[in-house]
Chain A
Amino acid sequence: MNERLHQAILSDGLLVGFAVTGVVMWASYWVSTHVTRGRIHGSAIAVFVGLVMAYVGGVVTGGKNGIADIPSLAGIGLLGGPMLRDFAIVATAYGATFQDLRRSGAAVLVSLSFGLVVPFLCGGLVAVAFGYHDAVSITTIGCGGVTYIVGAVTGAALGAKSEVIALSIATGLVKAIAVMILTPAIAKRIGLNNPHTAMVYGGLLGTHSGVGAGLAATDPRLVPYGLMVSTFYTGFGCLLGPSAFYFLTRIAFPV
């Protein structure tokens, strides 16, 4: 009996994902209205609850996929996986306008350039401060400051040590999580309430998951603008990391 029920849950994983996520959303909006009196938006709380669940999942299973590593909750991984995520992101573009995109061309290019170089420098400098003095490790950890995908790709391309790659990925994860939590909190202060600023934000912060979740928690209508730009961020990062960033780092730290 028990075995059979368990099997049913496993094969209907996506439905479990819908059900659990719906409960999380409801609880988060309830807390937002009744506990924080609307000061913290429900969507921001929901994303935070998701991260806490991911931490708990990691502690319980020791795996890398958060709560989705618990077999009966694997459906959450399906719901939040790359396929449905990209599908829903593209859907958000319905209602966005070309005029808003076109006006911001110059700002987008500038923000993408600074958005790639500045986090790389930050990550690289921290690596140097913590005693890494070879160009491969510095570049790999610096690229983790761009996004964890850029960090992993660059580390693999340069043949970095596996603990350095792990550190680089962790740096990128800290960035993504920080962006998810900080975006709704600082949105007002940096004027993040229009398509133009959302695009600049997407270019500067770049981490797809962070920007998407952060903007969704701020104002869902900003999501397509921010993600439209940040979709190019990781790609260009993977292009620059093992090439330009590495060569420049080697000039500064010849070994």
Chain B
Amino acid sequence: MVIYGVSLLALCSLAGLLLGEALGYLLGVKSNVGGVGFAMLLLMFLTGWMARHGKFKPVSAEGLRFWSAMYLPIVVAMAAQQNVLGAVKGGWVALFGGLAAVTASILLVPLINRIGLEKHHRESDWNPIPEEDRK
């Protein structure tokens, strides 16, 4: 059933977020540390394990695919509630500070990207999607 996939997704999300809260508490940080990341790893592990044991039916996967496909619209809704006015009102300090941070980080991407890249390309079966298929 579709709900099995959705339920598994909810369980992984909750478990990951709780783990992230606990880690934040232990580190004395007022923020969730890695909760979503733990949840993702848990989901990858569980779906992989269940698929290997023939327990994860394609129809359950539909529940995951639906929410995965909803990410982009959700991001658009998220963008629509950012405090864009606040960013604009921040003036020159915010503008220069933010853009400098982004520019410097982007410039570092090709440099740090080289670490382990060859190994990755040699072993990965990843193929970028051609432009035409991305509709």
A→B interface (CB under 8 Å): 17-18, 21-22, 24-25, 29, 38, 41, 43, 46-55, 57-59, 64-68, 76-77, 79-81, 84-100, 103-107, 110-111, 114-115, 118-119, 121-123, 125-127, 129-130, 141, 144-146, 149, 153, 156-157, 166-167, 169-180, 182, 186, 190-197, 200-201, 203-206, 208-209, 212-213, 216-217, 219-221, 223-224, 227-229, 231-232, 234-236, 238-239
A-B contact count (CB 8 A): 375
Q: Could you tell me the distance in whole angstroms from the C-beta of A92 to the nearest C-beta in chain B? A: 5
The CA of A29 and the CA of B134, in the complex, are separated in Å by 11
A194 touches B124 (CB 8 A): yes
Listed A/B pairs (14) with beta-carbon separation below 8 Å: A21-B80, A50-B82, A65-B83, A66-B84, A86-B35, A90-B16, A91-B70, A91-B71, A92-B71, A119-B101, A145-B101, A190-B113, A231-B40, A235-B33
B17 closest partner in A (C-beta): A86
For residue B74, CB closer than 8 A to chain A, the reply is: yes
Contact of B106 among A43, A65, A190 (CB under 8 A): A190
B68 touches A235 (CB 8 A): no
For B, the interface residue count at a CB cutoff of 8 angstroms equals 89
A50 touches B72 (CB 8 A): no
Q: Could you tell me the distance in whole angstroms from the C-beta of B90 to the nearest C-beta in chain A? A: 3
Going nearest first, the 10 A-B pairs with the smallest beta carbon separation are A170-B90, A174-B98, A58-B85, A80-B77, A50-B79, A235-B33, A119-B101, A80-B78, A93-B40, A170-B94
B108 touches A204 (CB 8 A): yes
B108 touches A118 (CB 8 A): yes
B67 touches A87 (CB 8 A): yes
B108 touches A223 (CB 8 A): no
B109 touches A200 (CB 8 A): yes
Task: Give the residues in chain B near A195, CB-CB below 8 Å.
Answer: 120, 124, 126
14 further A-B pairs in the complex, CB-CB below 8 A; given A54-B84, A111-B112, A167-B90: A46-B72, A77-B77, A90-B9, A91-B9, A94-B61, A99-B124, A129-B96, A145-B97, A167-B93, A171-B101, A175-B101, A213-B78, A232-B33, A235-B23
Contact of A66 among B80, B92, B93, B131 (CB under 8 A): B80
* Given A174-B90, A224-B40, residue A43 in contact with residue B72 (CB < 8 A): yes
A178 touches B98 (CB 8 A): yes
Task: Give the residues in chain A near B10, CB-CB below 8 Å.
Answer: 87
A145 touches B100 (CB 8 A): yes
The CA of A223 and the CA of B74, in the complex, are separated in Å by 13
Q: Which has the most chain B C-beta neighbours within 10 Å: A114, A170, A186? A: A170
A51 touches B120 (CB 8 A): no
A174 touches B94 (CB 8 A): yes
B98 touches A173 (CB 8 A): yes
Contact of A94 among B43, B108, B112, B121 (CB under 8 A): B43
Q: Could you tell me the distance in whole angstroms from the C-beta of A71 to the nearest C-beta in chain B? A: 13
